[in-house]
Each structure stands twice: as C-alpha cells, then as structure tokens.
Amino acid sequence: MSGSTLQGTGIGRGIAVGPVLRMPDPLPEPDETPSALTPDAEKERARASLAATAAIIRHRGERAGGSAKDVLEAQAFMAEDPTLIDDVGERIDTGKTAERAVFEAFAAFRELLLSMGGYMGERATDLDDVSQRVVAHLRGVAAPGVPDPEHPFVLVARDLAPADTALLDLSKVLALVTSDGGPTSHTAILAREKSIVAVVGVADALGLADGTEIVVDASTGVVTVSPSDEERDAAVARAAELKAARNAATGPGTLADGTLVPLLANLGSADGAADALEKGAEGVGLFRTEFLFLDSTSAPTVEEQKTQYVRLLHAFAGKKVVVRALDAGADKPLSFLNDAPEENPALGLRGLRALRANEPILRDQLAALAAADAQTDADLWVMAPMVSTVEETRYFTALAREAGLKTAGVMVEVPSSALLADRILADADFASIGTNDLTQYTLAADRLLGSVASFQDPWHPAVLKLVGEVGKAGQATGKPVGICGEAAADPLLAVVLVGLGATTLSMSPSALADVRAELSRFTREDARRFAELALSANSAVEARAAVTSAAATTE
Ligand code: PEP
Ligand code: MG
C-alpha cells in the first residue's frame, strides 16, 4: 500500500505521524479435536494459564489505576472463579483440550450471566475478554485487546470496545485508525473526549502492516501510507501549528467579528465539572441524567437525585446548566423505565415517551431539580429528550413549569420536531439539537450499527437543512437554539452550525479548545457562506469537502 492514501471520517482536526500497530484479531474458536495429552496434563495447562492470565490482568489494572483498576480486578477474579475452574476440569475429563474446555466453560458462564440480565448481563462481554486471554496464553500467541509496546504508535483496529479504551496509554497512542464505526461510534466519542487524532471508518485499514509509517490527518479523513519526506515534514509542521493555535485561543467562544457563541460542556456526572471548567466551559449544555442511574434497578428517589443535581449546580454557580430529563431506551436502557423488549427500540418507547408512560418518575425528577435549583445559584434550564410533536412539547413544558422550573425546552432529535420548530418554539423556551439522533432518524441508520455507519454523518445536507429550520425558527421567535450532539465537537462543522443559526454549542470538554480556535478564525458572514455551501452539496462528503476548501482560502 506504499505511497497510497486511504479515506475515512476524521474526528476533529488533528494530525499525527507514526508507525502502525494492529490490534490483534479475536482468536478463532478452539476446535473440538480430542486432546492427545492426559487429563491431568491438560488440567495443569489450564490451571497455569488461568492463574497467569489473572496475574497479568491484575498487573494491568494496577498500572492503569482509576476506574480501569476496578474493572480489571473484577476480570481477574473471573479467571480465578473456583466454580469455573471446576467446570473446566470436568470438561477436560471428557477428553477435551484445555483450550476447548476453557472456551466452553466461559461460554456456559456467559449464558448464565446473560440469562440473569441487568448488571450481570453486562458483565458477559468482560468474560469473553478473559476467555480469549486464557486461550491466547494456552496457545502462546498475543492476547487480543490493546497492544502495549514500549514505543509510540498509531493504533489500527476494527473498532474499540469500551474495555479497550479504558486501557489506552495516551502517552503512546499517537492516533487511532479504525475500519468500522462512524463519527458517533464509541471510538469517535473517546477520541474527542481525550483529544486523540482519529480517522474512523477507513475501509482498508486492516490491510495496513505493523510498523508501516502513516500520516493520519483528521481534518481531511485521509491516511497517507509511507509518506514522502515532504509529506511527513508538512504533517509535523501542521501538528505544531495546531498546538499553538489551541493554546492561543482562550476565553469565551467568539467569532472573528466579535459575535459571542457560548461554548458549553456535555457531562454525564458532576465528577467532570472541574475538568470542564478548567477547559473553559462557559456552562453545561447537556447533562445526561440517565448516566447517573444506568445500574439502578428501581427509580432513584427525589433525595438521591437532588444530591447529584446540587453538586452539579454548585460547581457551575452563576452559569447556565441545561439538564436533560432521563433519556432511556435503545442504547441506554433503564430497567425501571422501559423494560419491555421492542423490535426497534430506537423507534420505540424512549426519551419523553418512556417518561410519559411513567409520569410519577418524571414528576419526581422535576421536583428534585426544582429543589436543587432552590438551594443553588446556577441558571438551571431543563429539557426533554426525543420530543417528536408539538403536543409533547406542551406536555413537558407545562409539567416543568408546574414543578417551579422557570426555563423549559426540548431536544430536537427527530425530523418532525425540526420541521415544526417554529410551532415547538412557540411553547418551549429553547431548543437544543441532538445531532446524533437527528442524523440517525433523518438517514434511517441505526447509530450503533457498524454496517450503516457511513450514513451516520452530520455533515449530510439533509441533516443540516433540518438544523437550519430550527435556526430560522429560533431567530424568528428570538429563542436560543443550542447544539449538543457530537457535530458541535467537529470544529469546522461547528462554524457551519453557527451559520445555520445555532446560538450555543455544547460538547465533550476536551473538544472545547479546538472549536474555540476554529470559531475565532471566521466571521458570522463566513459561517453563513459555509452553511450555504454545505446545504447545496449532494452528500456529506461533498459538503465537508466544499467547506474545507472554502475555509482554506478564507483567512
Ligand atoms: C444526540 O442525540 O445528539 C444527543 C445529544 O443525545 P444522546 O447522544 O445522549 O442520545
Ligand atoms: Mg439523543
């Protein structure tokens, strides 16, 4: 592949150069050929590999520290579970190899956990990881998962699982390149959160050989294989320029003509507040309350919730904080809100629909927010997720006002709400556009499904047209229109969104610096011109390309 380029979707604007290191592929299932060794010899092999795997996992946990340590400690215990070890032994007694017995015993345990559902069910994936590691140890091959060499590298993978990402050593990972996943995949969200240069959805990425030098340019989504000296030097110079621009832009979000565009943080717990403030967040644009209660089996009490909200509002005293009511369903199931299996959960009883079906839970949440508001000095706004009708808007804003909350709005995540934004904003105090879901519903592409990830691109002119509808309605009614999906964290797209009428942008705190720097390069007039260019394109790729080249000739 020397000298060639590969195309994917860039996350952010960073650029990096380094050698490829491939994430090892999952191991194939051990075959069922009977063992040539005695059962005792196989049992000894199994015992030694289980113990060694537990020790390795524990060691990694100690090195990683923080929450990764707890996750890994729990995984080490799985490899030491006496019931599981007995099961492996019993399977070996029937003539199986240690590899096959380990594989089968873990698979049986997995089924058991899955049948228990809830928290235990979620641990099933961790078991797969441990099982693969033990089998790799038995075979004497590299364990699957994030490699851990001594030198810096560009990690090339199909996609990253949450457990992998917890272990990334950011001092060594220069960039990420994945073959799967779109701009809202887990890898992309992580890359934004940690400011890692990333290009996702590069179809041929897995053809890259270990050690090959590549340039990863997130601003264009291009991966250059075996670059020339000039290409390498240009990339290194650009990386230095970006770092300087990032450090230079401080203070509130402002366009080059002085127009203020407040930059806010997306948070899932008050724990991230200090970091967000340090990175210059001017408030919170999306507080995802469901993240506080993903493990709860019963609805949180008013007191329990109030404690969490007070912590958040205290941290942002004097600043705007937009709290979203519980958004359960699809990728974020909350067993106490919507437990019934659905054929198409993204189109089911999620967001406000689930809350409405459990109105006492919604009323409790609003009461907890009002109580926390009374005790603190932040400017609290509340909003409902996944609102699809004017009637739902009226329902939610009336309930919020009844609870004593003064600013009540809705998220625009469904095309119907964008198209009727003028009527929705007649009742709501503000709108906040969730571009992740708006893209999923506009393009009819499940945001979690790798096979349709290429559709999940918020640069798509159809998505931008809908954003523009909300922007126009905001201007006509004089009401704020925020953006809180991942699109706001893409610096150039952020400028386009402002051109379409967004008045604030909310994102993972680590994206703030890049977006702030990009906004400062362009005027409102430029932003409008870029928006027109993007709207008149035929595809997301064309829109991005047209605006990228206009931006390059603008300053
Ligand atoms: C969105 O859909 O863009 C959004 C911000 O909400 P979430 O990602 O939590 O669904
Ligand atoms: Mg959403």
5-7 and 222-225 beta bridge pairing: antiparallel
**pLDDT the model gives residue 202:** 93
Residue 124: pLDDT above 90?
no
**What CATH number is attached to the domain comprising 171?**
3.50.30.10
Ligand nearest to the CA of 290: 1
Coil, strand or helix: which one is 265? Answer: strand
Ligand 1 atom 6 nearest Cα: 434
Q: What is the DSSP string of 457-496?
A: -TT-HHHHHHHHHHHHHHHHHT--EEE-SGGGGSHHHHHH
Residues 191 and 336 in one domain: no
pLDDT above 70 covers a percentage of the chain that reads: 94
Q: Can you give the C-alpha Rg of the chain in angstroms?
A: 25
Residues 65 and 127 in one domain: yes
CA atoms within 13 A on the CB side of 159: 19
pTM over 0.95: no
CA of residue 48 to ligand 2 center, whole Å: 47
* Index of the ligand 1 atom closest to the CA of residue 432: 5
Count structural domains, the chain. 3
pLDDT above 90 covers a percentage of the chain that reads: 68
Give the residue from 517, 522, 519, 514 showing the smallest Cα distance to 554. Answer: 522
Asked if residue 34 belongs to a domain, the reply is no
**pLDDT the model gives residue 406:** 97
CA 505 to CA 320: how far, in whole Å?
13
**pLDDT the model gives residue 166:** 62
pLDDT band of 512, cuts 50, 70, 90: very high
b/e code 490-504 from CB counts within 10 Å (16+ = b): bbbbbbbbbbbbbbb
Which of 129-133, 409-413, 543-547 has the largest mean confidence? 409-413
Torsion of CA 512, 514, 515, 520, to 10 degrees: 120
Residues 195 and 327 in one domain: no
Residues 367 and 509 in one domain: yes
Asked if residue 247 belongs to a domain, the reply is no
Mutate to test the pocket of ligand 1, among 436, 463, 466, 505 (most ligand atoms within 8 A of CB): 436
Residues 159 and 302 in one domain: no
* Index of the ligand 1 atom closest to the CA of residue 288: 9
**What CATH number is attached to the domain comprising 60?**
1.10.274.10
Residues 135 and 150 in one domain: no
**pLDDT the model gives residue 541:** 87
Which of 125-129, 291-295, 313-317 has the largest mean confidence? 313-317
Residue 450: pLDDT above 90?
no
* Index of the ligand 1 atom closest to the CA of residue 484: 5
Residues 311 and 218 in one domain: no
- From 120, 139, 158, the end of a domain falls on 139
Indicate if 186 belongs to the active site: yes
Which strands form 222-225's sheet, in the order they lie side by side?
A: 5-7, 222-225, 213-217, 15-22, 153-157, 173-178, 197-200, 9-11
Coil, strand or helix: which one is 316? Answer: coil
CA of residue 135 to ligand 1 center, whole Å: 38
Asked if residue 518 belongs to a domain, the reply is yes
Count of C-beta atoms within a 10 Å radius of residue 456:
28
Ligand 1: residues with CB < 6 A are: 286, 288, 327, 413, 434-437, 484-485
Ligand nearest to the CA of 322: 1
Residues 269 and 347 in one domain: yes
Q: 243-274, pLDDT tens digit by residue?
A: 887 777 778 999 999 999 999 999 999 999 99
Coil, strand or helix: which one is 284? Answer: strand
Residue 339: pLDDT above 90?
no
Asked if residue 248 belongs to a domain, the reply is no
Residues 194 and 308 in one domain: no
Asked if residue 154 belongs to a domain, the reply is yes
pLDDT band of 448, cuts 50, 70, 90: confident
**pLDDT the model gives residue 122:** 60
**pLDDT the model gives residue 163:** 57
More confident residue, 46 or 453: 46
**pLDDT the model gives residue 44:** 95
- CB-based contact 279:298 (threshold 8 Å): no
**pLDDT the model gives residue 68:** 64
Which of 57-61, 74-78, 268-272 has the largest mean confidence? 268-272
Asked if residue 244 belongs to a domain, the reply is no
Paired tokens of 15: 């650029």
Least confident of 24-33, 186-195, 329-338: 186-195
CA of residue 211 to ligand 2 center, whole Å: 39
- In one-letter notation, the amino acid at residue 206 is L
Q: 343-366, pLDDT tens digit by residue?
A: 898 999 999 999 999 999 999 999
Which of 20-34, 212-226, 291-305 has the largest mean confidence? 212-226
- CB-based contact 269:288 (threshold 8 Å): no
Residues 14 and 159 in one domain: yes
CA 309 to CA 374: how far, in whole Å?
11
- From 239, 265, 297, the end of a domain falls on 239
Least confident of 232-236, 412-416, 507-511: 507-511
**pLDDT the model gives residue 208:** 96
**What CATH number is attached to the domain comprising 301?**
3.20.20.60
Among residues 151, 186, 314, 460, the one annotated as catalytic is 186
Q: How far from chain centre, in Å, is Cα 234?
A: 30
Indicate if 137 belongs to the active site: no
- From 92, 113, 139, the end of a domain falls on 139
Residues 414 and 526 in one domain: yes
pLDDT band of 2, cuts 50, 70, 90: low
| CA torsion through residues 274, 279, 280, 284, sign | negative
Residues 276 and 333 in one domain: yes
CA of residue 383 to ligand 1 center, whole Å: 12
**pLDDT the model gives residue 438:** 97
Q: 145-171, pLDDT tens digit by residue?
A: 778 788 999 999 988 765 566 667 778
More confident residue, 11 or 95: 95
Ligand 1 atom 3 nearest Cα: 434
Ligand 1 atom 9 nearest Cα: 288
Provide the residue range defining the domain that includes 185: 5-24+146-239
| CA torsion through residues 414, 419, 541, 521, sign | negative
- CB-based contact 217:15 (threshold 8 Å): yes
**pLDDT the model gives residue 114:** 78
Asked if residue 250 belongs to a domain, the reply is no
Asked if residue 245 belongs to a domain, the reply is no
Ligand 1 atom 10 nearest Cα: 437
Per DSSP, helices labelled H in 327-380 are 352-357, 359-375
CA of residue 351 to ligand 2 center, whole Å: 8
Ligand 1 atom 4 nearest Cα: 434
